[in-house]
Amino acid sequence: MIRFENVTKRYPDGTTAVHELSLEVARGELVTLVGPSGCGKTTTMKMVNRLIEPTSGRILLDGEDISAVDPVELRRRIGYVIQQVGLFPHKTVLDNTATVPYLLGWSKAERRERAAELLDLVGLDPSRYGDRYPDQLSGGQRQRVGVARALAADPPVLLMDEPFGAVDPVVREHLQNEFLKLQSTLHKTVLFVTHDIEEAVRLGDRIAVYGEGRIEQFDPPAKVLGAPATPYVADFVGADRGLKRLSVTPIERGDLEEPPVVHLDDPIDKARARMRGEGARWAVVLDDADELHGWLAAEAVDSPAGPASPAAKSQDKTSPPTVADHARRMEAWLPLGSPLKQAFSSMLQHDAGWIAVLDDADRFVGVLTPGRLHEALRRSIDADERDVRRDEVELETVADA
């Protein structure tokens, strides 16, 4: 959708801001450009909407060389959001949002309707905020208006230059999450500039890590964090990149341990035999609907006279004991595909040595333990380095590494 072919930008004073850049952003993809101050990110961005002209090379938008497109017409196809939002101070929020529809000659009613729809989309109630002026908004709200305005004419492409850079970290994370939600329904082709690696990792389908005027690595976040292409990238993403990588590595089926599974109404003898047979210290307990109930510790069932729950004491002595009498509840569970970081955090929060993992239909699939979590991380790094799927990495490789 956006394609840079050997693009160079040299400023009149001799500064080469961008050097022989080749990069392709696919339709519907969100690419983050990340790098230190002055490395050429903004220059790259502004060449796409022709605020800056390249010295050499070509930029294609949907296959068309943009140097042949009238800049004004070009900019209608490209939404632009910048850090200093640039709202008109004397215009209301509604009118600011409707700027492009106004330039496109839409009727007043159409403009107001579209602007209200977009304000709603970015989480601002138009009846409450529509008639305010920009200085009556918080920083985060102004950024939202900036995003709404950029989306007003429904452009296929969005350029975002540090759009959330001027707000505090809590608001920024909130805006990032909202934007990701929006993007998951709008599927715009987005080029997003940031100097913050955390932001680049959180938002990007792929990240282009810039050195001086050139790309050092262009890969999905997990790969940039797990297999930095150069020492420069390793340094830029930071020594804690393993930790950062936890947040972009999903739980897969192959990562899970499969402890014995018993049901609440199973006789305790059967459960005991099952656990002994598999040499397991505990089993996962499911209810009648095969949904997760909790777990059963081997110690609790090892001796028939072992400690029983209050439920067991109160029950009719004639009926044989069941798993339900000894099972403990387990609240720590996550769906498949959740980031490993969430699994780790859930283990800490519940003080649990494992968490249950469920599929889309809430069926139990397996458990993630700290050991398995570490293995998953190691295997995913290895998989990225060798360009194979994670489940193709032999565990021996991990143990030997």
By CB under 6 A, name the binding residues for ligand ATP.
11, 13, 15, 17, 35, 37-43, 195
Nearer to ligand ATP, 197 or 285 (CB): 197
Residues 245/226, Cβ–Cβ less than 8 Å: yes
* Among candidate residues 8, 394, 383, the one with its CA nearest the CA of residue 219: 383
Sign of CA dihedral 157, 160, 163, 169: positive
Nearer to ligand ATP, 195 or 350 (CB): 195
Distance CA 271, CA 283 (A): 8
Least Cβ distance, residue 210 to ligand ATP (angstroms): 7
Least Cβ distance, residue 52 to ligand ATP (angstroms): 8
Strand segments, DSSP code E, in 182-331 are 189-194, 206-210, 215-219, 261-263, 282-286, 292-297, 328-329
What is the crossing angle of helices 169-186 and 139-151, to 10°? 20
Least Cβ distance, residue 287 to ligand ATP (angstroms): 54
Q: Name the amino acid, one letter, at 324.
A: A
Residues 74/61, Cβ–Cβ less than 8 Å: yes
Least Cβ distance, residue 235 to ligand ATP (angstroms): 17
* Among candidate residues 349, 381, 372, the one with its CA nearest the CA of residue 244: 381
Nearer to ligand ATP, 42 or 369 (CB): 42
Longest distance between any two alpha carbons in the chain, whole Å: 94
Nearer to ligand ATP, 35 or 226 (CB): 35
Nearer to ligand ATP, 34 or 152 (CB): 34
Least Cβ distance, residue 327 to ligand ATP (angstroms): 56
Least Cβ distance, residue 41 to ligand ATP (angstroms): 4
Residues 393/381, Cβ–Cβ less than 8 Å: no
Least Cβ distance, residue 39 to ligand ATP (angstroms): 4
Identify the helix (H) or strand (E) that includes residue 66. none
* Among candidate residues 16, 85, 104, the one with its CA nearest the CA of residue 56: 16
Nearer to ligand ATP, 12 or 105 (CB): 12
Nearer to ligand ATP, 46 or 142 (CB): 46
Half-sphere exposure of 148 (CA within 13 A, CB side): 32
What is the rounded (10 degree) CA torsion for 40, 41, 43, 49? 160
Distance CA 60, CA 68 (A): 10
Nearer to ligand ATP, 41 or 149 (CB): 41
Least Cβ distance, residue 46 to ligand ATP (angstroms): 8
